[in-house]
Structure 1
Amino acid sequence: MSTDQSLGDPTPPDALPAGGAFGNPNAPTDQPTPVRRQLTIEEVLASAKLPEKHARVCLRADLQARHDDLIAQLAAMVNAQGELIEDPEASAADVSAASRAQALNDELAAVRREMTSAMWFPLFRGLSTDELAVFNKRHEPKGDGADMTDYNVQLVAACAVEPTMSVGDVKALRKKLGARAMRELTNTAHEVCARGGVDVPKLPASLLNLTRQ
Structure 2
Amino acid sequence: MAAKTSAIADIIGQVKRPEKTVPICLAGDMQAEFEDLERDLAIARDKPAEGTLAGGSNPIATTIAQKIVELRERMREHTTVFRFRGLPRRAWSDLVAECPPAEGAEESGADVDWETFAVALVATCAVEPQMSVDEAGQLAEVLTQAQWDSLFTAAYSVNKRDVDVPFSYAASAVLQSSKKNSR
* Counterparts of residues 24-173 of structure 1 (less than 5 Å): 40-71=7-38, 73=39, 77=43, 84-86=45-47, 98-139=58-99, 141=101, 142=105, 143=108, 148-173=114-139
- The structural deviation recorded for 1:129 is 2.7
The equivalent of 2:143 in structure 1 is 177
Q: Which residue matches 2:54?
A: none
Which letter does structure 2 place at the counterpart of 1:112? Answer: R
Whole-angstrom distance in 1 between the partners of 2:91 and 2:60: 55
Higher helix share: 2
TM-score, normalising length: structure 2 = 0.69
**One-letter code aligned to 2:135:** D
In the aligned structure 1, how far is the partner of 2:144 from the partner of 2:121? 18
Bigger CA radius of gyration: 1
Check whether the contact 2:140–2:148 (CA below 8 A) recurs between aligned residues: yes
Runs of at least 5 residues in structure 1 that lack an aligned partner in the other structure: 1-38, 79-83
Partner of 1:191: 157
Query: How many residues matched?
Result: 161
Q: TM-score, normalised by structure 1?
A: 0.60
Identity of aligned residues (%): 25
- State the one-letter code of the partner of 1:57: I
1:100-120 Cα offsets, whole Å, 9 max, x none, are: 433332221111110111121
* 2-structure distance, mates of 1:66, 1:182: 22
Q: Is the 8 A contact 2:27 2:78 kept in 1?
A: yes
For residue 102 of structure 1, what is the amino acid of its counterpart? T
Give the alignment's Cα RMSD to 1 decimal: 3.5
